[in-house]
A and B are shown apart, each in its own frame.
Chain A
């Protein structure tokens, strides 16, 4: 199988605090993970590509100092929302890329619902 977990599944925090979201590939190694943000009734927006052992690549318009990504091992990537504000409230989804032969497939985590008060 190929299972990706996220923790926590939902978090509520006060404005100005930082929140860390973990993304783990449970039964495979993932050199590359992706972080997406989903707005209500909208599609997924790719925020950044996280590569194990190197700096993340951020999409245009995504503040890298606000959304800190660390991919410290082959099974774990973290997204830290720093100094969170109500406009950061959203559903954050990660995915992990698994290479099988010559084909790469992405597996998605269940998502984390962030609410900033």
Chain B
């Protein structure tokens, strides 16, 4: 079956630190992979996506590369800001377009 595993938080970083949030997946077929961000009290916003192997999704300084050989889609940012504090969800979408979410990783960036 399909599933997503992401590193548990919470993660606390100082401003300008490097961020990595690990995400691995299990899927039949060739899923699309996503990172969503949820700010306090709000819904999910698409951060970036990749639809096939070796694709790199990027947005707002965040990047993630679809690695089929390691079934991973790790989220990275070179220099985090306080405004990046949020919960990050890794997700996959199968051919039926059903979404499978990871458990979310809470990130707090301190000045």
Contacts and interface: CB of A to CB of B under 8 A. Distances in A.
Interface of A: 6, 32, 34, 41-44, 46, 49, 93, 95, 97, 103-104, 106-111, 113
Nearest to A6: B43
Given A110-B43, A111-B42, 4 more contacts: A44-B101, A106-B97, A107-B46, A108-B45
Interface footprint category on B = 10 to 19
Contact of A108 (B41, B43, B93, B97): B43
B43 A109 contact: yes
Contacts of A110: 42-43
Given A109-B43, A111-B42, A42 B99 contact: no
A-B pairs, 5 with minimum CB distance:
A110-B43, A111-B43, A108-B44, A104-B97, A43-B103
B81 interface: no
A43 B104 contact: yes
A57 B44 CA distance: 23
A93 B43 contact: yes
A44 to B, nearest CB: 5
A34 B99 contact: yes
A109 to B, nearest CB: 6
A77 to B, nearest CB: 15
A42 B98 contact: no
28 contacts: A34-B98, A34-B99, A41-B104, A41-B106, A42-B104, A43-B89, A43-B102, A43-B104, A44-B101, A46-B98, A46-B99, A49-B98, A93-B43, A93-B44, A95-B99, A97-B97, A103-B51, A104-B93, A104-B97, A106-B97, A106-B99, A107-B46, A108-B36, A108-B44, A108-B46, A109-B43, A110-B43, A111-B42
